[in-house]
């Protein structure tokens, strides 16, 4: 009864609004619409007329509501926030967002599953993309990473094949462990990543209680041109919370958008989630001092090699006004850089520098950086022009540089790229220090008894679906090489012949 009374009062209140208080419905060009309920026809029973421009525009706009889905990271949630620097780090980088204690920089963050399609459950086992767009006073900077510190592959040339293996079968249109492990049985460098992914870390309880990592090494460059290699980590100030496989299945049955709901509800309650940003540092002359390649994204930098230094804190404090215009149109790319931050020579990162920007141009158009969520807060001064949805409002007849007749935008060599001497032959080969299994073994041995049990159970659950036993044996041989107990427990869980595994392991 109370609900019905409130509804009637609401309807009455709305009916009392004067026309002056209401806003007229318009077409996309701003013309007022006379009737949004009935199409224009030739007589009461006649055909609909093509001249009903409001009808045509409404249907044509509706037909184009969907843009191409992201190839990866299609399912995500995002929010606005702010980053505050803990200090002045200009001795390491020219990047202005890190040059002053207390300096505030607006951010937009998108956290996503990697493999699964838009609308898929947020409970599925998958890395979580952790992408941060800083709107700095030197232009935008995108720090695009994951919630796990390493990745599956170390060379971008494998990326399309890896994603194809993870995605649904082109015949049966469903994801299939047979396809996944058929690929990865030939990619031993993924052993470390699988050891992270098949823990409960692969099924985060929400997006507030997970950490983020830049995964790759990047270069910080100071005003003198001196280079420091860095790795980034975002540490959740809410702690880390994960689902077991059983808890994830239970949540999936209840709410396939639980993480989105949780983030937005917490922000609207004023429980603003925050993450502390830290960096690890290595000098260029130290890169060859270890038994692994520090530019290999399948490896972490141990704390004893490169201690972490906290440099700032990020807080998410505002829900987007429109999900599509922000979360879905937000375009992140490792090529979105500011002076003082550059890509390292990591081969996977080098490919992503091209690929991510390229996919955004395909998905959103050549002017995607002009969309509000992607637009910098500083002036854009260049002679790029035209293309779909151009809104640059250029007025000068001079659209080139240099010009002898008019003053144009000028270069500033204080923002030159860093330099590096190169005297190498060109080649196509894997890195010399692969060391594919050591860190995976270290990680396994660091786990608690329960964490090991969950890891073995989760891995065996997917490997047990693989029909090709040669593929299974090869995968288990990788885990055996990481740690004998790790491999033996998988051998037992999958009822394999240990001699087959040890033969494969000793052949490597």
User: Could you tell me how far CA 213 lies from the centroid of its own chain?
Assistant: 10
Six-digit token pair at 382? 């260049």
User: What's the CA gap between 148 and 454, in Å, rounded?
Assistant: 17
User: What's the CA gap between 163 and 158, in Å, rounded?
Assistant: 9
Query: Which residues touch 190 (CB under 8 Å, ≥6 apart)?
Result: 152, 153, 184, 298
Residue 23: strand, helix, or coil = coil
Tell me: cis bond preceding 402? Omega within 30 of 0 counts. yes
Six-digit token pair at 313? 């804190």
Q: Yes or no: say if 180 and 197 are a contact pair by the CB < 8 Å rule.
A: no
Q: Yes or no: say if 107 and 336 are a contact pair by the CB < 8 Å rule.
A: no
- Angle (CA) 394 400 405, round 5°: 95
Q: Is 164 a catalytic residue?
A: no
User: Could you tell me how far CA 368 lies from the centroid of its own chain?
Assistant: 17
Q: How far is CA 335 from CA 75, 253, 339, 377, in A?
A: 22, 39, 12, 18
Residue 195: strand, helix, or coil = helix
User: What's the CA gap between 101 and 348, in Å, rounded?
Assistant: 33
Six-digit token pair at 84? 């505050």
Q: Is 454 a catalytic residue?
A: no
User: What's the CA gap between 94 and 341, in Å, rounded?
Assistant: 8
Catalytic annotation, pick one of 54, 116, 140, 146: 146
- Determine phi and psi for 202, rounding to 5 degrees: -75, -10
Residue numbers annotated as active site: 73, 146
């Amino acid at each position: 009864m109370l609900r019905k009374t409130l509804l009637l009062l609401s309807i009455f209140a709305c009916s009392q609004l004067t026309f002056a208080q209401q806003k007229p419905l318009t077409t996309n060009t701003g013309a007022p619409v006379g009737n949004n309920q009935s199409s224009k026809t030739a007589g009461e029973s006649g055909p609909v007329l093509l001249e009903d421009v409001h009808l045509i525009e409404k249907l044509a706009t509706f037909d184009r509501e969907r843009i191409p889905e992201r190839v990866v990271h299609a399912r995500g949630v995002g929010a606005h926030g702010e980053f505050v620097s803990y200090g002045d780090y200009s001795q390491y980088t020219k990047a202005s967002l890190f040059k002053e204690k207390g300096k505030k920089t607006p951010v937009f963050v998108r956290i996503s599953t990697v493999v699964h399609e838009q609308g898929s459950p947020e409970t599925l086992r998958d890395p979580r993309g952790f992408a941060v767009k800083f709107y700095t006073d030197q232009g935008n900077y995108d720090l695009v990473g994951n919630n796990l510190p390493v990745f599956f592959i170390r060379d971008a040339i494998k990326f399309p094949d890896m994603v194809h293996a993870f995605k649904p079968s082109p015949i049966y249109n469903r994801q299939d462990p047979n396809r996944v492990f058929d690929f990865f049985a030939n990619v031993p460098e993924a052993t470390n990543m699988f050891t992270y992914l098949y823990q409960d870390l692969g099924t985060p309880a929400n997006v507030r209680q997970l950490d983020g990592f830049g995964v790759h090494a990047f270069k910080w460059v100071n005003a003198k041109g001196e280079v420091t290699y860095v790795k980034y980590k975002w540490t959740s100030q809410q702690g880390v919370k994960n689902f077991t496989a059983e808890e994830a299945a239970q949540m999936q049955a209840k709410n396939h958008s639980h993480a989105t709901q949780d983030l937005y509800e917490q922000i609207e309650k004023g429980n603003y989630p925050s993450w502390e940003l830290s960096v690890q540092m290595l000098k260029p002359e130290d890169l060859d001092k270890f038994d692994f390649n520090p530019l290999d994204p399948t490896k972490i930098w141990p704390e004893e090699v490169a201690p972490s230094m906290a440099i700032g804190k990020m807080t998410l404090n505002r829900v987007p006004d429109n999900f599509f215009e922000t979360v879905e149109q937000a375009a992140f790319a490792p090529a979105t850089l500011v002076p003082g931050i550059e890509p390292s020579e990591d081969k996977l990162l080098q490919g992503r520098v091209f690929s991510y920007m390229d996919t955004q141009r395909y998905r959103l158009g050549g002017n995607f950086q002009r969309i509000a969520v992607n637009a910098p807060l500083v002036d854009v001064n260049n002679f790029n022009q035209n293309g779909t949805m151009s809104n640059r409002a250029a007025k000068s007849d001079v659209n080139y540089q240099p010009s002898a007749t008019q003053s144009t935008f000028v270069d500033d060599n204080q923002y030159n790229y860093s330099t590096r001497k190169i005297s190498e032959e060109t080649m196509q080969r894997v890195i010399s220090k692969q060391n594919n299994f050591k860190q995976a073994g270290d990680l396994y041995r660091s786990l608690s008894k329960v964490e090991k049990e969950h890891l073995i159970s989760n891995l065996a659950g997917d490997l047990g679906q693989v029909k090709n036993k040669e593929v299974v044996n090869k995968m288990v041989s990788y885990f055996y090489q990481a740690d004998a107990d790790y491999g033996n427990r998988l051998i037992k869980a999958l009822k394999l012949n240990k001699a087959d595994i040890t033969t494969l392991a000793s052949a490597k």
